[in-house]
Amino acid sequence: MASVGSPGGSEFEVVVRLKPEVLDPEARAIQETLTRIGYEGVKAVQVSKRYILTVDDQSGQGASLAEAVAREFLANPVSETFQVRKL
């Protein structure tokens, strides 16, 4: 079982979202619903997935590991982009 905040590890946030040219029916439905119920000020909605990875960073390679996991496993390079940042 994975645990967040393990001793000796560093936390990295990975945010995965659809590329701008990819249609996002979930975001569109949310925006249309918000407008319909009176939130006209919301001009755009973007749905994303957020992952928190706790990685062994004793070697100073934690950011590289988090980026490799995001690129190879968490994001689909055809339709998604990702960002990694240390927490």
CATH of 9-86, one of 3.40.50.1000, 3.30.300.10, 3.40.50.300, 3.30.1280.10: 3.30.1280.10
pLDDT tens per residue across span 47-77: 999 999 999 888 888 899 999 999 999 999 9
What is residue 77's predicted lDDT score, i.e. its pLDDT?
96
Q: 13 near 51, Cβ under 8 Å?
A: yes
Q: pTM score, two decimals?
A: 0.81
State the Rg of the chain over Cα: 17
The owner of tokens 């979202």 is: 17
pLDDT for 16 beyond 90? yes
